[in-house]
Structure 1
């Protein structure tokens, strides 16, 4: 098993940008106000387990319904493209209406905020390009960062302020947009 640090770093950055935990700090703070306490450990571990499980069985599910990873990666590039547009333009294209949660730590925080459609699609898109062990390391590092951000979200908000969070969100949006274009061009060639 050979670890490739370039792949790990790239996969980490892609997942970090898609999950957008820093950009979600206002949502996390709002959840804290509504429910009083968020179990950061529980949310991080459950999100990590969902992501790792999907990394391994997502491919099988696709094969079961007759879709190859490259087609899914092209579709994923569109989702990543639209998430990037949301981040850059400050608009909302995807709106989750569900609000009957047993606990805010699992729903909507672990799923779908952290392990949502964008991150699940991104995982399979990354799997089309990178080695699985590198993606797992990137996922674990992301889960650690998510845990730290959840634990320190109110401090981060005070330090960055609303404008700082918006700037970080837009920077990651531009990075994500470039990644979406690269994913699309790489995988569309493989389809034809």
Structure 2
């Protein structure tokens, strides 16, 4: 076990920015209004299991289809780049469908909002840079934050207000953009060597 606080802190920030649970508050509130109730505990645990399983098996799945981790990390960096631009520019790619209200805790909450393509791609990208145990700690820290936000989403929305949520989203968008550039530059060199 090689726990590194700097790696844990960076991985936690990256995941926090990609998952964007604060920016997702309006979606969560909309789901709560439609479904009547969201199972915060179940949704958090399922999201954590999906992320940890993908973190551990994602690389093996990639090898099976003949993709290198640094190739996936570059692809992940590009996705992070677009997610960051989406956060900074305020463009939305997530479309709401006519989902079953009983499924609101799992779809679209767990997938694609919490453990979606962005966060799963990010996990593989982080795996190329950081130790496995540090990323798992980062996932657990994020799941605790997600659970707290899901439990208190109504109060958080009233406290932060629309402007507060928008400001937080833009700040994390810029951080995510910088991280995407770092991931891209450090992994693109590996492809040419």
Structure 1-normalised TM-score? 0.97
1:144 is displaced (CA, Å) by 0.4
Are residue 2 (structure 1) and residue 5 (structure 2) matched?
no
Are residue 147 (structure 1) and residue 155 (structure 2) matched?
no
Are residue 71 (structure 1) and residue 95 (structure 2) matched?
no
**1:122-161 matched pairs, under 5 angstroms:** 122-161=122-161
Task: Give the aligned length.
Answer: 191
Question: Following the alignment from structure 1 to structure 2, what is the Cα–Cα distance between the partners of residues 4 and 67?
Answer: 28
Question: Following the alignment from structure 2 to structure 1, what is the Cα–Cα distance between the partners of residues 96 and 158?
Answer: 29
1:98 is displaced (CA, Å) by 4.6
Are residue 84 (structure 1) and residue 84 (structure 2) matched?
yes
Q: What RMSD in Å do the two structures reach over aligned CA positions? A: 1.0
Runs of 4+ in 1 over 6 A off after TM superposition: none
1:99 is displaced (CA, Å) by 3.9
1:97 is displaced (CA, Å) by 5.5
Gaps of 5+ in 1: none
Cα gap change, 1:176/1:151 in structure 2, threshold over 3 Å: closer, same or farther?
A: same
**1:1-192 matched pairs, under 5 angstroms:** 1-92=1-92, 94-96=93-95, 98-101=97-100, 102-192=102-192
Question: Following the alignment from structure 2 to structure 1, what is the Cα–Cα distance between the partners of residues 95 and 57?
Answer: 25
Question: Following the alignment from structure 1 to structure 2, what is the Cα–Cα distance between the partners of residues 112 and 96?
Answer: 11
Cα gap change, 1:112/1:71 in structure 2, threshold over 3 Å: closer, same or farther?
A: same
